[in-house]
Structure 1
Amino acid sequence: MDETKTALVTGANKGIGFAIAQGLGAAGFTVAVGARSKVRREEAVQRLRAAGIDAFGVALDVTSEDSAAVAAAAVEDRTGRLDVLVNNAGISGRTDGGAQDPTTLNLDVVRTVLDTNVFGVVRVTNAMLPLLLRAPSPRIVNMSSNMGSLALQTGPQLAAYAPSKSMLNSITAQYARRLADTKVIVNAACPGYVATDFTGFAGERTPEHGAAIAVRLATLPDDGPRGGFFDDGGVVPW
């Protein structure tokens, strides 16, 4: 069997996702670039290859169970297994007209945000689990945010986005408990406030800074932590 490890990063065509793909590629992984847009996906693959990284594109819309299944089949056909899954694809949701003020909360916005940020993670994770279970040291990293921390209650009030990350943290813990007797190690990562189009380039951290914790959790030793929530500084309060 080919000993090259393969990592799938969702939403890998830009921002933190692309930086995670770069970081894992630099660590020797073959990187599967998961993205909806064919043009952006192919551009990202070409950029990674130009940097000497073995990369290939995977069409993936995390809001579609069928798309997740097709993506899993594509990865299986290409590599036969999956060593790392980074669930990075996420949306903040619209905020106009008080859409994320809790007192005027637009529940359609909540549904849309949850469909990508939480349900999307479940769709992709469950589609990829059979491939992950074939790997010798499989890792799942869910990209969360300290805005989802009930203890910290940090960041702007975004009553769709922040709870989506709280729920993602809880789902991460559920997966870790379920997979406790397997080789699959599951954790959540907070990249910090990163300057990407997601934040209107307002963050003080580069995408590479934000990606570092994901790369670290994706390459944990077999006795590494499970079911935790981490940033560069260590454990993030739930």
Structure 2
Amino acid sequence: MTNTNTSNSNTDLAGISIVVTGASSGIGLAMAEGLLRAGARVALASRPGVKLDNQVKRLKSSGLDVYGLPMDVRSETSIADSVEWVQRTWGKLDVLVNNAGIGMRTVNKRFLIEPLPFFQVTPEGFRNLIDTNLTGYFLVARGFTPLMIRQGHGKIINITMNQETMRRTGFIPYGPAGSGAESLSYIMAEDLLPYGISVNMLLPGGATDTGMIPEDLRGQIKSPLLRPRVMVEPIVFLASSKSDGLTAEKINALEFSKWLSKYDN
């Protein structure tokens, strides 16, 4: 196999165009910044607002090729506008990172210490999270895939979660959304094989310091929270030519070095 050195030199992703959803904070922002510093041009896709504007301004001040892309992943119209922007501005999309999501605190603010059984979760809370974390992945991928098919290449990376979270008490609908996104990814990978488009999954490998866990509940986490930058090395690898031919893979960022050594062999 070819060289799999994953150092973030400025030429690793030169000429690569990438959209990262949910990129104004947390894991999405860390991945976007890592991709930018590896030489890619990156659109930070997020709901419009000061948070997105400030991050784009900060990254631009470092000389990075960054763009703000207002997007609501639950809206087909908003996604269509984003696809049109990419076609008009870049003319291509090499990599799509599906990351936008909301956490359990939107359903139950005390989910870590007072988990709710599924029959006490409100239909509104269930639908809201599923619409963002699962249906959003489908809608965004559905929107950008025709562009990738026309250009004859592309990579989709769906951010997911570990199996324990999918089965944990009190984690409805967060767990089912992650499970659905995983199944969606495997089927997308099969559907896109004939078109030379890969679909892979990446997860942090543990509870991550993204703001989804309320400050007063952090003491309930037994192990230290992972920093979002744990995602940088594997996302740069997945976006690069070093991952060409890889599809339907689920990579744990915390164990990336171990996984890479096996992949390299």
Q: TM-score, normalised by structure 1?
A: 0.87
Change beyond 3 A, Cα 1:42–1:157: same
- Distance in 2 between the 1:99 and 1:77 partners? 47
Change beyond 3 A, Cα 1:216–1:156: farther
Identity %: 30
Q: How does 1:43-192 map to 2 (within 5 A)?
A: 43-92=54-103, 93-96=106-109, 100-135=116-151, 137-147=153-163, 153=167, 157-192=170-205
Question: Following TM superposition, by how much is the alpha carbon of 1:224 offset from its aligned partner in structure 2, in angstroms?
Answer: 3.6
Tell me if 1:17 matches 2:28.
Answer: yes
Change beyond 3 A, Cα 1:62–1:100: farther
Query: In structure 1, what is the equivalent of residue 213 of structure 2?
Result: 199
Structure 2 residue runs of 5 or longer lacking an equivalent are 1-13, 219-223, 260-265
Question: Following TM superposition, by how much is the alpha carbon of 1:142 offset from its aligned partner in structure 2, in angstroms?
Answer: 0.7
Query: Whose helix fraction is larger, Structure 1's or Structure 2's?
Result: 2
Change beyond 3 A, Cα 1:132–1:38: farther
Which one-letter code corresponds to 1:127 in the other structure?
A: G
Question: Following TM superposition, by how much is the alpha carbon of 1:114 offset from its aligned partner in structure 2, in angstroms?
Answer: 0.8
**Which ranges of 4 or more aligned residues in structure 1 deviate by more than 6 Å?**
none
Structure 1 residue runs of 5 or longer lacking an equivalent are none
- Distance in 1 between the 2:226 and 2:109 partners? 26
Matched residues, number: 230
Contact 2:237 2:243 in 1 (8 A): no
Change beyond 3 A, Cα 1:96–1:197: closer
Change beyond 3 A, Cα 1:213–1:230: same
SS of aligned partner of 1:199: coil
Query: In structure 1, what is the equivalent of residue 3 of structure 2?
Result: none
Change beyond 3 A, Cα 1:220–1:145: farther
Task: Name the Cα RMSD after superposition.
Answer: 2.3
